[in-house]
Chains A and B, each alone.
Chain A
Amino acid sequence: NAGVTQTPKFQVLKTGQSMTLQCAQDMNHNSMYWYRQDPGMGLRLIYYSASEGTTDKGEVPNGYNVSRLNKREFSLRLESAAPSQTSVYFCASTVGGTGGNSPLHFGNGTRLTVT
């Protein structure tokens, strides 16, 4: 039982390059999330998927796209990377469900640098 698995752990991109961050959970959770963490800014929500087949914008969605591939997997794509996207990215999941209050389980993060 690995929990939430993110790949890669580290990535360096040049401005304008694209990449996809992968996330998978094995806890049969319904809801999945992508956050970015920057110094002094806390954790800001990029996109989330309340359930398989749905995705919604969070607080800072510009420059990103997501795909909920199936119940287990939720990927984040940067189509044209910019230095402002240098950050640590965390994927998270929770049981979810309407009205459910359950904690988030986080992956180990992806440290992305855009030069």
Chain B
Amino acid sequence: GENVEQHPSTLSVQEGDSAVIKCTYSDSASNYFPWYKQELGKRPQLIIDIRSNVGEKKDQRIAVTLNKTAKHFSLHITETQPEDSAVYFCAAKGSGGSNYKLTFGKGTLLTVNP
């Protein structure tokens, strides 16, 4: 089945700096890559997603890039703010019999220091 690796597991930045989180996936036929943000004690919530026919997508301070050849995708947060502090999860959706399954990375704890 699909395997998703996420790095780093923890990331600490100063307010205003950029943060980058990287993920790799194993199933070359995977076609959907969402990113979730989970604040302490809360449920995961979608912040951005990208489909395999697109190389990059932006939404204000957040962007995601996808390299299908290398099977990796990344989350970029610019001008970080303390409220960006949370755990971020990447995920990949498999193909064929796994078409309905979303496999998650283990998460990155982002801390933005004021």
Contacts and interface: CB of A to CB of B under 8 A. Distances in A.
Contacts of A40: 9, 106-107
Interface size class of B (residues with CB under 8 A): 20 to 34
Contacts of B46: 103-104
B104 interface: yes
B101 A42 contact: no
Nearest to B52: A101
Contacts of B6: 42
Interface size class of A (residues with CB under 8 A): 20 to 34
B28 to A, nearest CB: 16
A42 B43 contact: no
A98 B51 CA distance: 15
Interface stretch (A12-20, A43-51, A60-68, A71-79): A43-51
A107 B43 CA distance: 7
B45 A106 contact: yes
Nearest to A33: B102
Contact of B89 (A31, A33, A42, A45): A42
Nearest to B44: A106
A73 B14 CA distance: 44
A41 interface: yes
Given A101-B32, A103-B34, A96 B101 contact: no
Contacts of B43: 90, 106-109
Nearest to B51: A101
Contacts of A50: 100
B49 A103 contact: yes
A59 B101 CA distance: 10
A104 B43 CA distance: 11
A96 B100 contact: yes
A42 B104 contact: yes
A53 interface: no
25 contacts: A33-B102, A40-B106, A41-B106, A42-B89, A42-B106, A43-B104, A44-B104, A45-B101, A48-B101, A56-B100, A59-B103, A96-B100, A98-B99, A101-B31, A101-B32, A101-B51, A103-B46, A104-B34, A104-B44, A104-B102, A106-B43, A106-B44, A106-B45, A107-B43, A109-B43
